[in-house]
């Protein structure tokens, strides 16, 4: 999750109704505000808080998965997160939302959140979970390529390719480890435990489709708080179908607290991002969001007690650089 694109569900698109508009009504106070009299700079800082929160998500999800199991831990996190969103960010009645948006957008949202949570838990080690999370951050690159493909602009895909190649090289460098930019080593590492890598890649692809397709479907409706309970249902179904059951021993108190913290981080990230989109500077938030891969890697290293290699850090920087390059291309 992750630096999200802007849309009606606080996650993607370029809906002009969601951007901050400086009205000049606060000129006498010397502070730019929007039509809700919320200082734009303050709202933008709230949006930045979402990026900081999401950067902690991957490491926290891994900790919960190690304590409660892959499927049970994910289901518990999103159940608590759904409750928090319904309490603090109550949605408009679903009957007021376009049915197409609820079905298609909801399906993509549920698949993305479920696949990312499960992929982190299915990683064979804490270090591999960080590698998998980096694959998730290919979604900005996929989003730009998809948007270019469906646009009518000439050579749009060609202009988007440099950023895509830089970001992809970053993933190979990070997954290949000390082998450097060796795609044979990277693929060999993936083959050892392919499912979480596949889930993370498909999740990134689903989110890029969500970001490009849903803004025009939503008609201004914010479906995040509606979709979260659906993620819960999907994860509980996966849990009971997997037969994983309960942990062999009762998790300690700090593990239960970590579930609540992780749910607050994910749900709070969506709430902060939505507030920033409505009242802050979307341009500044978009640029800042592309630092998420590096921030996430750093936060995961601290939370999981990992010592990551120099090639991995270089790979994370390349993913961020490729995504930022794509943002500049899209801004043009």
Domain spans in the chain, listed from the N-terminal domain onward = 40-331
Average pLDDT for the chain: 80
The confidence score (pLDDT) of residue 91 equals: 83
In this structure, what token pair is assigned to residue 159? Answer: 């202009």
In this structure, what token pair is assigned to residue 242? Answer: 């997997």
Residue 288's pLDDT band (boundaries 50, 70, 90)? confident
In this structure, what token pair is assigned to residue 86? Answer: 């319904």
| Rounded CA separation 138/262 (Å) | 23
Residue of 5, 327, 332 whose CA lies nearest to 166? 327
Q: What percent of the chain has pLDDT over 70?
A: 82
Residue bearing tokens 């060796």: 182
The confidence score (pLDDT) of residue 211 equals: 82
Distances (CA, A) of 3 to 50, 142, 191, 255, 286: 8, 14, 28, 26, 8
Residue-wise pLDDT for 241-250, tens only, equals 988 888 888 8
| Rounded CA separation 216/180 (Å) | 42
The confidence score (pLDDT) of residue 24 equals: 41
φ, ψ (nearest 5 deg) of residue 291: -85, -5
3-state secondary structure of 163: helix
Higher pLDDT, 121 or 156: 121
Residue-wise pLDDT for 75-92, tens only, equals 999 999 999 999 888 888
Q: How many residues does the chain have?
A: 332
In this structure, what token pair is assigned to residue 41? Answer: 């700079």
Cβ atoms of 47 and 276 within 8 Å: the answer is yes
Angle, helix 310-331 to helix 156-176, in steps of 10 degrees? 170
Lowest mean pLDDT among 64-73, 120-129, 248-257, 288-297: 288-297
100 Rama sector, left if φ>0, alpha if ψ -120 to 50, beta otherwise: alpha
φ, ψ (nearest 5 deg) of residue 265: -65, -45
Checking if the pLDDT of 47 tops 80, the result is: yes
Q: What mean pLDDT do residues 108-137 have? A: 88
| Rounded CA separation 34/116 (Å) | 35
In this structure, what token pair is assigned to residue 108? Answer: 């993509």
52 Rama sector, left if φ>0, alpha if ψ -120 to 50, beta otherwise: alpha
Distances (CA, A) of 29 to 25, 100, 134, 137, 167: 9, 44, 43, 40, 43
Burial class (CB in 10 A: 0-12, 13-18, 19+), 148: buried
Cβ atoms of 12 and 5 within 8 Å: the answer is yes
């Amino acid at each position: 999750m992750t630096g999200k694109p802007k849309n009606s569900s606080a996650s993607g698109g370029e809906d002009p109704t969601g951007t901050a508009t400086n009205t000049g009504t606060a000129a006498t106070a010397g502070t730019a505000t929007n039509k809700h009299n919320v200082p734009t700079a303050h709202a933008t800082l709230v949006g930045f808080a979402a990026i900081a929160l999401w950067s902690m998500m991957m490491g926290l999800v891994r900790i919960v998965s190690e304590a409660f199991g892959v499927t049970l831990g994910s289901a518990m996190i999103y159940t608590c997160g759904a409750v928090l969103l319904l309490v603090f960010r109550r949605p408009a009645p679903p009957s007021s939302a376009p049915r197409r948006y609820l079905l298609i957008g909801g399906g993509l949202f549920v698949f993305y959140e479920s696949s990312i949570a499960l992929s982190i838990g299915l990683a064979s080690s804490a270090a591999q979970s960080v590698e998998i999370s980096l694959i998730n951050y290919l979604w900005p690159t996929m989003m730009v390529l998809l948007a270019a493909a469906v646009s009518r602009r000439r050579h749009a895909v060609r202009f988007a390719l440099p950023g895509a190649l830089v970001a992809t090289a970053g993933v190979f460098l990070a997954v290949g480890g000390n082998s450097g930019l060796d795609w044979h080593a990277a693929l060999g590492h993936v083959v050892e435990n392919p499912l979480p890598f596949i889930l993370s890649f498909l999740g990134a692809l689903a989110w890029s489709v969500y970001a490009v397709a849903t803004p025009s479907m939503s008609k201004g409706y914010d479906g995040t708080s509606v979709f979260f309970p659906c993620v819960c249902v999907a994860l509980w179904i996966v849990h009971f179908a997997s037969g994983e059951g309960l942990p062999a021993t009762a998790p300690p108190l700090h593990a239960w607290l970590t579930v609540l913290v992780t749910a607050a981080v994910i749900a709070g990230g969506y709430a902060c991002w939505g507030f920033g989109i409505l009242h802050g500077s979307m341009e500044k938030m978009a640029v800042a969001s592309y630092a998420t891969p590096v921030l996430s890697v750093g936060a995961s290293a601290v939370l999981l007690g990992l010592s990551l290699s120099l090639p991995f850090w270089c790979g994370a920087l390349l993913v961020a650089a490729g995504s930022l390059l794509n943002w500049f291309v899209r801004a043009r």
